[in-house]
Chains A and B, each alone.
Chain A
Amino acid sequence: MAIAPTIHDIREITPVLSDKFKIDFSNYAFSFLRRRFAHIFNVLNVKSTKDFIEKIKSGELTEDFSYHFPVPDTEMFRDPSFWRYLRLKILPGLEEDKFSFWFPQLVSCEELFSLLVILKEEGVIDKAKVYCNVSSAKKLEEIKSGITDSKKIELNKQNFKRLELNHHFEDYFINEDGKVFIDKSLMTNVEFLKGNFFNEVPNTTVSFVIFRNRMIYYNAKLQVNAEEILAKYIHKGGYMAIGIKERISQANQSLFDEYEISEKIYKV
C-alpha cells in the first residue's frame, strides 16, 4: 500500500525536485504539495519517501512525475462566458498579423481544444499561431493524438451548448469506436514547447496568454515571478486571461490593466 507523505517528507522532497526541474517547488502552496504528493505516491505506488527521492534523482521517475503532478483542466469550455467573450469581443479586435496565443502550462487538452474550436468557428484558425508548453512527453503525445477524456464528454457537450455557436459539437469532434477525437486539422498551427515556461518560452511575443487556474497552486512569491515572465512575452496591447477566482498580485498591478474583470482578462 502507498504511503502518505508527512510535512517532513515534503521538506525533504521539494529541494530534490527543485534541483531536477529547475523550479523552486517550495514555492507551491503547501496544502497543494501535501495533496499532490499523496496523489503521486498513490498512483505510482511509492513505498517510501527515500525510494521516491532516489528515483527522482536518478531520473527514473522524471516523466511519471511530470505527467501526474500538474492538475489537468476540469473540462472543455470551462466558464463558457469567458469563451464567448473571447470569440465576440477579443478576436474581432485583433490585428490581422497578431493572432498568436500561448498556453504557458498546458496540462491536458481541454483549454487548447476549446481555443481551437473558437478560432475555427470565427474563421481565423488559418492565420492563428498557438504555442503550448507541455512538461510531460507522454502527455504531449496524448494531446497531439487529439483524443479527449471520455469521462468528461457529457460535460464538454453541455458547456459547448452554452457557447451558442453556429456549428454542432460533432462538427469539431469525431467519434471513432467510442473514443472522441478533435478534428486534427485544427491543430495544424499549434507549436509545442517542451518543458515549463520558467525555462522555455516562445521565440516571439504573443497577443493572448491563457493561463487560467494555474497560479492557484503557487504561493505569492512564485505567482509574482510567473506574472513577470508572462508579461514580457505579451505584445503591447495584448491580453492575459487567468482563472475567475484569481487576481494579479499586488506587486505586478502596474504590468497589467484590468480589461474585462468578470472574466479575468487583463491587458498589457
Chain B
Amino acid sequence: MVKNKPAYYKGIVIGGSAGSFSLVTKILSRIKPDFKYPIIICLHRLKHIRSGLLEGLNLKSNLSVVEPYDKLRLEGGKVYLAPSNYHLFIEFDSTVSLSTEEVLNHSRPSIDHTFFSAATSFREKMVGILLTGANKDGARGIKDVHNKNGFTIVQDPKTCDVDMMTKSALQLFNPDKVLSPEEIIDFLNSL
C-alpha cells in the first residue's frame, strides 16, 4: 500500500544501538538547518554516564540537541535525545514523559518503548527510522509505527556496523524504505 504523505509530521523518531552514534552524528551534521519537525532520538547508552553523548552530538549538529526534561513540549527543528537510564515516551499532546520503569530488551532507554508511544500519539504523522544495532530492541516498535500507518525506514543491513537490529525488524514486516545512510539523509532533507 502506498501511503499518502501527510501535510506535516508531528515527529521523526530515530532508534539505534551499537555503531549508531557516528551515524546519528553524520545525519545531524548534514540535516538542513531549517528542518521543521521535531526529531526524537533513542540510542542505547551506558546507564551511569550522564554526560558526553549530548555534547558530542551538539558539536556537529545543525540543529539544537537537548536531553528533555519530563513534560517538555516538542518543538519543530529541535532534536530530543532520550536521557541515560530513563525511558522516553511521547504523549498525545506532543509532550515528553520519562520513566524509570523496568528495562525492556535489556535497555533503558528502550527504543521499542519510544516507538510504541510515538506510534500511538502521532499515528500516520510520523517517520520512524531504525539504524544499526546489536539487539532486537526497536524491531517490534517500528513495526507498530508501520501498523499505525507511520512512515518507516530501516537502514540497509548491508550498511550497518551491526545488523541484528535492522534484520530483526525486516523479519517482522516490510518497511516503506530500506535505505543507506546517505539515502536516509537525503530523505530527511526532502521532507
Contact = CB atoms under 8 A, between A and B. Distances in A.
A79 B83 CA distance: 13
B71 interface: yes
Contacts of A80: 48
Contact of B48 (A31, A73, A162, A243): A162
Contacts of A245: 67-70, 83, 86, 98
A220 B71 contact: yes
Interface in A4-35: 29-32, 35
Interface in B61-82: 67-71
A24 to B, nearest CB: 17
A150 interface: no
A78 B84 CA distance: 11
B100 A159 contact: no
B91 interface: yes
Contacts of A158: 48
A63 interface: no
A71 interface: yes
Interface of B is mostly: loop
A78 B71 contact: no
Contacts of B67: 245
A247 B70 contact: yes
B92 A216 contact: no
A246 interface: yes
Interface string B82-105: 010110011110000111110000
B50 interface: yes
A217 interface: yes
Among B68, B71, B86, B98, chain A packs the most CB atoms within 10 A around the CB of B71
A187 B92 CA distance: 43
Contacts of A74: 85, 100, 108
B89 A31 contact: yes
Contacts of A247: 69-71
Interface in A215-231: 215-217, 220, 223
Nearest to A31: B89
B86 A32 contact: no
A98 to B, nearest CB: 30
A52 B110 CA distance: 29
Interface in A101-151: none
A31 B91 contact: yes
Given A29-B91, A32-B99, A159-B48, A216 B70 contact: yes
Given A158-B48, A215-B70, 9 more contacts: A29-B89, A29-B97, A31-B117, A79-B50, A159-B48, A223-B71, A243-B100, A245-B68, A245-B83
Nearest 5 pairs between A and B by C-beta?
Answer: A216-B70, A31-B89, A29-B97, A213-B100, A216-B98
